[in-house]
Structure 1
């Protein structure tokens, strides 16, 4: 699957989950700015990597969606919380990971379709 096709499928999956479809391209290590992007960049393997970043409606969670080298959907994530963080107390983290599962499933379906 081409990098451009990956970008298109990621954007489509994110839009279906209620996120915007803005895609960022990681072409070299210094393009990875967030912690999740830095994790994703480790899977780049000298190619340009289209990614979709989202805080998933959380205060302290960063997620980055992308396809691995073999076309498998991936998600890198990073974050932190405190005991009184709304991300914990209001169940935002659980909802974020449910939505992430939806995005990854849609990315897989689109890639296989």
Structure 2
């Protein structure tokens, strides 16, 4: 399993738009072979940081999902929310592997 951690710098005045963007991407990840673990948004105080975590069974499975960017109409429409609203100022993607509790 591989987990993608995306750290966003968001426009605090556009959190509603960011939430709309995030909800759509949660659906798309889940529809295309991944498991979305949610977005973590600013809560208390002034903050412009948000996180997203989602996993795929393998890097190869993630790459199949990524190949849809720019081509699949649903992916293009979801990304358009970010582009048109300006809710995301920048983002950074990191890949990690989870260490889970033994059961």
Tell me the TM-score normalised to structure 2 length. Answer: 0.40
Name whichever structure is richer in strand by fraction.
Answer: 2
Q: Say which structure, 1 or 2, has more relative contact order (CA 8 Å, 6+ apart).
A: 2
Tell me the TM-score normalised to structure 1 length. Answer: 0.38
